[in-house]
Amino acid sequence: MNSKTLGIIYFISLNTFKIIVHHMFDKIFFFTIFLLLSIVIFECKNKNELHLCIASHYSVSEINFFYEMYFKDAKDAKINLVRWQKDIFFYIEGDTLLGDRKLILNASERINSIKLPIRIKEVKKKKEANLIIRSGSNAALNLDSLTPAITIKHWTNKIDSALIVISNENRLQFRSSILLHELLHVMGFMSHVKTVSNSIMQSVVTSDNILTDNDVRALKLLYEPIWPYPYNKQDFERNFANALYFI
């Protein structure tokens, strides 16, 4: 066997070895990443370790704001965290004011821009909707005041359908803020806030109220996929006892 042939065999063997080693390191690398992700996911699914995952992505003030919006005023400490698990399809009915549809579409698109796991979409047929938005006079809607009425139906661990009833006697300049406020209630937040003066979830909404960064972060936190079920107010207060201002 001459030196040229030996050189070719050596070259082929060396490159084959490099390829084998390269693939071995690739597999070790990907296995390590998979293992680390599995540990993180396991910890996040563990109710007692949940606060570690949340605290790594949300600040103390954001956690408190979320608590104020969702759990703080809940009289039943065992009320569970629930949210929509599929897209919201809304249908507009009743004696709507001129421009109402555009205001509702703007509000839904503002929420969609947050890029939650679910989206809000309009449908043309009522039977296709899981959210009805109904407007009209107080008399026609059976309302005693200008305060909109909300009905939310849910099964064990998810919101299934909802109804917003809004009076046409609400001030037009506030109507955009009111519609956005009611949509956030439908998304899952049944409480109001006091700590952020211009939050859209203040109990009294005016044109000064907007979807603040706090509101956006609270929505993102509500729709994080890591929440276990059941998970209630007592669980939250136990997990975040060192972070909450309110307890």
pLDDT at position 169: 83
pLDDT at position 41: 42
Running DSSP on this structure, what letter comes out for residue 81? P
Backbone φ and ψ of 136, nearest 5°: 165, -170
Hey, how many other C-beta atoms are within 10 angstroms of the C-beta on 172? 12
Name the strand (E) or helix (H) holding 65: helix 60-70
**Among all chains, which residue has been given the structure tokens 């049944």?**
190
pLDDT at position 49: 74
pLDDT at position 45: 56
Q: What is the four-CA torsion angle of 179, 108, 57, 80, rounded to 10 degrees?
A: 60
pLDDT at position 174: 84
Phi-psi region of 186 (alpha: psi -120 to 50; beta: other; left: phi over 0): alpha
Count the alpha carbons within 13 Å of 107 in the hemisphere toward its beta carbon: 25
CA distance 244 to 236: 10
CA distance 70 to 227: 14
Q: Give me the residues of the chain with pLDDT under 50, please.
A: 2, 4, 6-11, 14, 17, 20-21, 23-25, 30-31, 33-43
pLDDT at position 60: 95
CA distance 151 to 131: 10
pLDDT at position 29: 54
Considering the chain, what is the average pLDDT of its residues?
83
Please state whether beta strands 149-154 and 158-167 pair in parallel, antiparallel, or not at all (unpaired).
antiparallel
Q: Which two tokens stand for residue 240?
A: 């975040």
- Residue partners of 162: CB distance under 8 A and separation at least 6: 88, 130, 131, 132, 150, 151, 152, 153, 186
Give tens-digit pLDDT for 136-148.
988 888 888 777 8
Count the alpha carbons within 13 Å of 210 in the hemisphere toward its beta carbon: 3
pLDDT at position 10: 45
Hey, how many other C-beta atoms are within 10 angstroms of the C-beta on 135? 23
